[in-house]
């Protein structure tokens, strides 16, 4: 992969220009390009609304609950409506949104399906922490087409992440950044607010290797599986432990912000399953959070798993299905998998922080 840094003065490609160059005359690619472009237009509207903060009224605060039981802020619903309106004329047959219990039928003869979290991390709105939008674009296979799984019908939105045609996520932070992949590397576009246009600022991003950062919510330590506890123990042990080097911990509690940091700086992010009620299958959504993040990370040379298996190999059985998620530099993600498969060889290695160490019985 090339040097990811670009200068908009010498590489002035807008998102529309990049999409046009990639799609050419291929009908399916042109449909994907059109869909990404209209999603970009909705994202500009969401960014402008977020940028006004509380000038237009309160941003946070629950106004209800979505189909999966999570609280909804006013802006969750507004972002959903903006996306729905933008896709009304796009070549999209189905929309699966975090804010809708069931898939929404749009154009039955269209070639694509879109899965989206219109406003990820809305619980952070009151504290002005970065939030985002995450989307996945899939081929719209006929809903009644039998699959190899016993002949059962499978909805287009319930394809494994390996079927994705494109994916993207947005970080609404000090600037609005869009990380997107069309299966040809990971590109980053920055919103030019004056022109209401996205311009490419990073091309063919490659996740840096050798960085010693990990992101996890350490307050849940006592609920983790032993393999995750052992992995973090060995990071905490630092230079005196089996890893032989010191690590820094980062935790923003915003999936898109964590993903963007990993793309730029390397390291690893972990949101494992744990023993708390409701967390046994993980907490992040497979279809419209984990799968698109995984596609983007893999296209930047990284890896993404549920701790053991590649995220994009998992067969979804429900739109709002949850999953554990581990992603980042490939070597670190693979190491976490080894802690699950070979705990005696790795997890017991730390003399101070192992399960039989000084600080645990």
pLDDT tens digits for 277-289? 999 999 999 999 9
Burial letters for 126-158: b for 16+ Cβ neighbours within 10 Å, e otherwise?
eeeebbbbbbbbbbbbebeeeeeeeeeebbbbb
122 is in an annotated binding site: yes
Burial letters for 263-292: b for 16+ Cβ neighbours within 10 Å, e otherwise?
bbebbbbbbbbbeeeebeebbbbbbbbbbb
Residue numbers in the chain where pLDDT is lower than 50:
1-3, 144-151, 345-361
Which tokens belong to 318?
A: 């429900």
117 is in an annotated binding site: yes
pLDDT at 355: 42
Active site residue 76: yes
pLDDT at 212: 95
Q: Which is the catalytic residue, given 19, 82, 98, 234? A: 98
pLDDT at 342: 84
Contacts of 213 (CB under 8 A, 6+ apart): 247, 248, 249, 250, 265, 266, 267, 268
Say how many CA atoms lie within 13 Å of 127 toward its Cβ: 9
Q: Which is the catalytic residue, given 15, 82, 106, 120? A: 120
User: Which domains, and CATH codes, for the chain?
Assistant: 15-202 (3.30.540.10), 213-346 (3.40.190.80)
238 is in an annotated binding site: no
Q: Which is the catalytic residue, given 117, 213, 234, 298? A: 117
> How far apart, in Å, are the Cα atoms of 298 and each of 113, 181, 212, 268, 330?
21, 10, 19, 13, 9
pLDDT tens digits for 183-203? 999 999 999 999 999 999 999
Active site residue 120: yes
Tell me the whole-structure pTM to 2 decimals.
Answer: 0.90
The greatest distance separating any two alpha carbons of the chain, rounded to the nearest whole angstrom, comes to 65
Active site residue 26: no
Q: Which is the catalytic residue, given 119, 125, 205, 319? A: 119
119 is in an annotated binding site: yes
pLDDT at 352: 44
Active site residue 119: yes
pLDDT at 58: 76
Q: Which is the catalytic residue, given 15, 37, 59, 76? A: 76
Which tokens belong to 257?
A: 């912000």
Q: Which is the catalytic residue, given 99, 213, 258, 274? A: 99
Contacts of 61 (CB under 8 A, 6+ apart): 73, 74, 126
289 is in an annotated binding site: yes
Active site residue 11: no
217 is in an annotated binding site: yes
Let me know: does 106 contact 97? Beta carbons within 8 Å.
Answer: no
298 is in an annotated binding site: no
pLDDT at 149: 41
225 is in an annotated binding site: no
Active site residue 289: yes
């Amino acid at each position: 992969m090339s040097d990811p840094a670009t200068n908009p003065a010498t590489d002035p490609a807008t998102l529309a220009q990049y999409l046009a160059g990639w799609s050419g005359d291929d009908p399916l690619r042109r449909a994907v390009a059109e869909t990404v472009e209209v999603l970009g237009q909705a994202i500009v509207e969401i960014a402008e609304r977020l940028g006004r903060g509380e000038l237009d009224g309160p941003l946070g605060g629950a106004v209800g609950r979505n189909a999966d039981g999570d609280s909804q802020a006013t802006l969750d619903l507004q972002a959903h409506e903006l996306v729905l309106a933008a896709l009304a004329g796009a070549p999209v047959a189905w929309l699966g949104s975090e804010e809708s219990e069931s898939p929404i039928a749009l154009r039955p003869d269209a070639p694509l399906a879109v899965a989206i979290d219109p406003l990820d991390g809305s619980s952070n709105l009151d504290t002005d922490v970065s939030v985002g939008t995450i989307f996945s674009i899939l081929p719209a296979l006929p809903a009644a087409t039998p699959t190899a799984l016993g002949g059962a019908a499978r909805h287009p939105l319930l394809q494994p992440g390996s079927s994705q045609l494109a994916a993207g996520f947005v970080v609404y932070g000090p600037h609005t950044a869009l990380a997107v992949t069309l299966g040809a590397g990971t590109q980053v576009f920055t919103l030019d607010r004056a022109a209401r246009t996205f311009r490419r600022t990073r091309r063919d991003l490659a996740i840096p290797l050798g960085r010693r950062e990990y992101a996890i919510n350490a307050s849940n330590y006592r609920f983790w599986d032993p393999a995750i506890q052992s992995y973090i123990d060995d990071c905490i042990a630092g230079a005196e432990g089996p890893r032989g080097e010191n690590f820094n911990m980062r935790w923003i509690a915003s999936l898109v912000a964590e993903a963007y940091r990993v793309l730029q700086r390397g390291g690893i992010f972990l949101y494992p399953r744990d023993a708390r009620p409701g967390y046994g299958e993980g907490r992040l959504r497979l279809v419209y959070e984990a799968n698109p993040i995984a596609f983007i990370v893999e296209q930047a040379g990284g890896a993404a798993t549920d701790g053991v298996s590649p995220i994009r190999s998992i067969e979804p059985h429900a739109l709002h299905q949850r999953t554990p998620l581990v992603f980042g530099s490939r070597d670190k993600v693979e190491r976490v998998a080894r802690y699950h498969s070979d705990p005696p060889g790795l997890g017991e290695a730390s003399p101070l922080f192992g399960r039989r160490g000084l600080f645990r019985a």
